[in-house]
Structure 1
Amino acid sequence: MRITCPLCGTRDRREFYYYGAEDYLHRPAPDAAPETWDDYLHLRDNPAGETRDLWYHELGCASWLVVTRNTVTHEISAVELVAEVSA
């Protein structure tokens, strides 16, 4: 699989570290209920199809990326810098 980093261009997947679902960007408030924190930390969907995941460009520019990809076809439809993703 090849990922096109917005800063470095197209690179092999082995340059990147997969972190997990984009959900980690949507952290609950510090005073949120324990159940909300439990859901945030432990419950994840595992969809077949399009996902938005966090990847770290470890052997490149050291940027965090949101990669939109299809888990069935492995097609990557978008790559964005986390810093530029609207909340």
Structure 2
Amino acid sequence: MLILECPCCGVRAEESELAPGGEAHLKRFGAGASDEDFEAYMFARKNPKGVHFERWRHAHGCGKWFLAARDTATLEVFGTYPAQTKAPPAELIAAIKAKRPHWEGYE
């Protein structure tokens, strides 16, 4: 079972208490974007096997969105952080690299 800590309220919650929101740190495109950029935003996802950054909502708790780094193959959670963060925190990247030395990193 996947357990994530909500950085907003501090509760460690099982995945049944959370709602997934897809890939984190996407560059959003809207009105005025080219068809190719908007199509890539809507449909192209990395979906890697390994470390992945995702959006989650504490649906049955505080209701706030947050971001999480986890391994999609093992479900190992490296950490969570507020949704307003533009890039993963440096200490989280360091923790991932410490456990996954061959990880290519966040783009």
TM range (shorter): 0.7 to 0.9
Partners of 2:53 and 2:86 lie apart in 1 by: 14
Taking structure 1 as the reference length, the TM-score comes to 0.87
Q: What count of residue pairs does the alignment treat as equivalent?
A: 85
What does residue 65 of structure 1 align with?
Answer: 66
Q: Kindly indicate whether the alpha-carbon contact (under 8 Å) linking 1:2 and 1:13 is maintained by their aligned counterparts in 2.
A: yes
- Partner amino acid, structure 2, of 1:86: K
Partners of 1:66 and 1:16 lie apart in 2 by: 12
Off by >6 Å, runs of 4+ in structure 1: none
Q: Kindly indicate whether the alpha-carbon contact (under 8 Å) linking 2:67 and 2:81 is maintained by their aligned counterparts in 1.
A: yes
Structure 2 unaligned blocks of 5 or more: 88-107
- Name the structure with the higher strand share: 1
Partners of 1:20 and 1:77 lie apart in 2 by: 17
Cα deviation for residue 86 of structure 1 reads 2.4
Among the aligned pairs, what percent are the same residue? Answer: 26
Larger RCO (alpha carbons 8 Å, 6+ apart): 1
Counterpart of 2:70 in 1: which secondary structure?
Answer: strand
Cα deviation for residue 8 of structure 1 reads 3.2
Q: Kindly indicate whether the alpha-carbon contact (under 8 Å) linking 1:8 and 1:61 is maintained by their aligned counterparts in 2.
A: no
Pairwise CA RMSD:
1.5
Counterpart of 2:74 in 1: which secondary structure?
Answer: coil
What does residue 13 of structure 1 align with?
Answer: 15
Structure 1 unaligned blocks of 5 or more: none
What does residue 82 of structure 2 align with?
Answer: 81
